Amino acid sequence: MIMKEHTHFREDGTEYTHVHHNGDGVAESHVHHHNHGGTGHVHRHVHSAEEKKKVMNRLSRAIGHLEAVKRMVERDEDCSEVLIQLAAVRSAINNTGKVILKNHLDHCIVEAIEQNDMETIRALDEAIDKFIK
């Protein structure tokens, strides 16, 4: 099993660490360390291979649409058609975001509520604000 750990910092200065377990492709775990007034909180969730595959397939479709738009621009195709295809790309990305949000709600937010982890809930609120902009 291969394990990689990456430490990151949010805009508010809180630290979080992603730990990737890439053995057999079964699941990937993320560990998030939040600083709650000096005490560290560890939040862990696991994505099933099926959930990950759904997201990866959606991302691949969005990338394919975007590459098609790029080729349309290179060929000087009709601007109206380019805009229609860009709308399809935006829709594919938004739908991917919905899948990720639902997975996050089903796993991480349920756990955060059970543990009274307001930092995770606040982070989701910020992420939604940025995604919806």
For residue 34, the domain's CATH number is 1.20.58.1000
- The whole domain housing 62 covers 4-132
DSSP string, 34-95: EEETTEEEEEEEEEEHHHHHHHHHHHHHHHHHHHHHHHHHHTT--HHHHHHHHHHHHHHHHH
**Domain total of the chain:** 1
Each residue of 11-31: pLDDT tens digit? 545 444 444 444 444 444 444
User: Tokens representing 54?
Assistant: 């759904």
**Higher-scoring residue by pLDDT: 38, 124:** 124
Each residue of 75-108: pLDDT tens digit? 999 999 999 999 999 999 999 999 999 888 888 8
User: Tokens representing 126?
Assistant: 């910020």
Model-level pTM? 0.59
Question: What distance in Å separates the CA atoms of residue 107 and residue 62, rounded to the nearest whole number?
Answer: 25
In this structure, of 36-45, 49-58, 108-117, the range with the lowest mean pLDDT score is: 36-45
The residue type found at 100 is: I
67 has pLDDT over 90: yes
